[in-house]
Structure 1
């Protein structure tokens, strides 16, 4: 998880290491963002089918000075199957994005030699949906 957060975080003007980022993910990995409507009564998803599609949406990171870091995580594993529930915070150095906290669920595959992220599914905290305390403990 540290490698993921390291790849996308950095100051204004620092290019992100998207080659390293892509290497963390299995070639068939999925990226899904869930968000609520303004009234917080209906959730929708935005799906990126490839790492390149997701990276296209991250072209602002070096312009804003974006930082994301893990606050806590919960790991479940059995054999080659690992699931990580990672609570994170993010902020923009230029203050153009409001700082928030969220949770990402990672599905990870261990092939005997290395770990591959198979999927990333995340959402941010809202007024209606606060992160439970059990996910804020490290």
Structure 2
């Protein structure tokens, strides 16, 4: 008789909200302060992300602004297909992204802009599917790449944070589905 009661108590204890089990971790001191307008809404933080990585060749990016958008535990996850046709993804920190991509963005110029968006929200979390196109300069006749960023956002009651950005570039084998493109009009 005691075993079923113990099992029920354990089950109820495990079903308690995660917020009661895991206190929010404060941002470490080395995280630069965010511009309040950048983190005021999901739309603002996604716009700030695109803005901060974009610029012409020779234009230095504001990497402290970039860092300020990300939660201390954040990850960026580029994905694709290797030469053997196997799907691959890697997980990097915002600082890894800066070290790996910063010199290329500076050398070649890079503008990434959102062309469509889908969002889902539950409480303090939001998932943003943001379709992008990439250009070297804003005057380019056509993008050199397109794809989809899957952005997970978290609101701690004070501001929005990027928890992760997971992306996949469009290829002939993996075209962007119509529901992730701008509505024809």
- Normalised by the length of structure 2, the TM-score is 0.68
Q: Normalized per residue, which structure has more strand?
A: 1
Q: Does 1:61 align with 2:116?
A: no
1:3 lines up with 2:32 in the alignment: no
Task: Indicate whether 1:46 and 2:90 are aligned.
Answer: yes
What's the CA shift string for 1:67-99, capped at 9, x where partnerless?
110011101001101000010011224x9xx81
Give the equivalent residue in structure 2 for 1:28: 73
Q: Could you tell me how far 1:38 is from its partner in structure 2?
A: 3.8
1:20 and 1:47 map into 2 onto residues whose CA distance is: 21
**Hey, what does 2:160 align to over in structure 1?**
115
Looking at structure 2, the residues matched to 60 and 34 of structure 1 have their Cα atoms a distance apart, in angstroms, of 18
Q: Please give the residue correspondences for 1:68-83 in structure 2 after superposition, counting only pairs within 5 Å.
A: 68-83=112-127
Higher helix share: 2
Task: Name the larger-Rg structure.
Answer: 2
* Structure 2 residues without counterparts, runs of 5 or longer: 1-45
Q: RMSD value over aligned CA atoms?
A: 1.6
The number of aligned residues is 133
Of structures 1 and 2, the one with the larger relative CO (CA 8 A, separation 6+) is: 1
> 122, 126, 138: which is aligned to 2:171?
126
